[in-house]
Amino acid sequence: AIHVAYLGTNYLGSQWQGALTTPGVVPTVEAALEAALTKVGAIAPHNAGDISKVGWSRSSRTDKGVHSLGTVVSMKMRLHPQWLSVRGDLDPVYANKLTDAINDALPTDIRVLCVQRTPKQFQPRRACRVRTYAYVIPSWVMRSSTERSDDVSLPPDNATVDRFRSALQALEGSHPFHNFTSRSVYVN
C-alpha cells in the first residue's frame, strides 16, 4: 500500500481518467503517481498507462482542487529483489528508499508518506474505518453584498458569521450517505 498526501489545487481530481489521463491533458493525482511509479520501476513499462493491469485500488477519491492528507492506494507493485528481506517482506530500509525515489519523481504537491506490503486481498476502500472531512471557507465570502470590497482581509460582520455557523450545524455529525454508494441498503 502507498500512503499519499497531496494538494489538489493543480489537479482535476484524484481519480485516473483512463485514456484522457495523458500528462498535461487531464492532470489527476493518480496519473502523476502512476507516472512516478513507472519511472522508478515499480510498474513495468508494458503495464504503464492502464492502472487496471496492476490491480490499482484506492481508499477514496477527491474532486477537482480538493486536498488529501491520507489516501491509501494499493496495487501489485513490481519490487526489485534487493528491496526484499530474507523472508520476502519489503525491507524497511528499502521501503524508505523507495518512498524517497517515488517522491523524487513526483511533483512537489504530491507526497508519498510511506510504502508498505499488504496481503493480496487488501482493499483500501473496505479497510478504511474512518474518513474525516474538513471544509475551509474564507471568511470574506460571508460578507453581505453591501459589504463587498476588493479587500479580502476585511472580516464579515458578527451577525453574518453567527447565521453561517447556525446553518453549518445541520452538517455536523454522522450522516447516512448510502444514496451515494453502489449498495443502497443503509445499516445504522
Summarize pLDDT for 97-124 with one digit per residue, the tens.
Answer: 899 999 999 999 999 999 988 888 899 9
pLDDT given for residue 139 in this prediction:
75
At residue 129, does pLDDT exceed 80?
yes
If you average pLDDT over every residue of the chain, what do you get? 83
Can 63 be counted among the known catalytic residues? yes
Residue of 63, 89, 104, 162 marked catalytic: 63
Summarize pLDDT for 133-145 with one digit per residue, the tens.
Answer: 777 777 777 776 6
**Secondary structure of the chain as H, E, C letters:** CEEEEECHHHCCCCCCCHHHCCCCCCCCHHHHHHHHHHHCCCCCHHHCCCHHHHCCEECCCCCCCCCEEEEEEECCCCCCHHHECCCCCECHHHHHHHHHHHHHHCCCCEEEEEECCCCCCCCHHHHCCCCCCCCCCCHHHHCCHHHCCCCCCCCCCHHHHHHHHHHHHHHCCCCCCHHHCCCCCCCC
pLDDT given for residue 27 in this prediction:
87
Which residues on adjacent β-strands are paired with residue 58? 73
The more confident residue out of 180 and 81 is: 81
At residue 147, does pLDDT exceed 70?
no
Summarize pLDDT for 158-188 with one digit per residue, the tens.
Answer: 888 888 889 888 878 877 766 666 665 555 5
At residue 96, does pLDDT exceed 80?
yes
- What is the pLDDT averaged over residues 45-70? 90
Q: Which of 9-13, 21-25, 53-57, 160-164 has the lowest mean pLDDT?
A: 21-25
- What is the pLDDT averaged over residues 72-76? 94
pLDDT given for residue 128 in this prediction:
86
At residue 89, does pLDDT exceed 90?
no
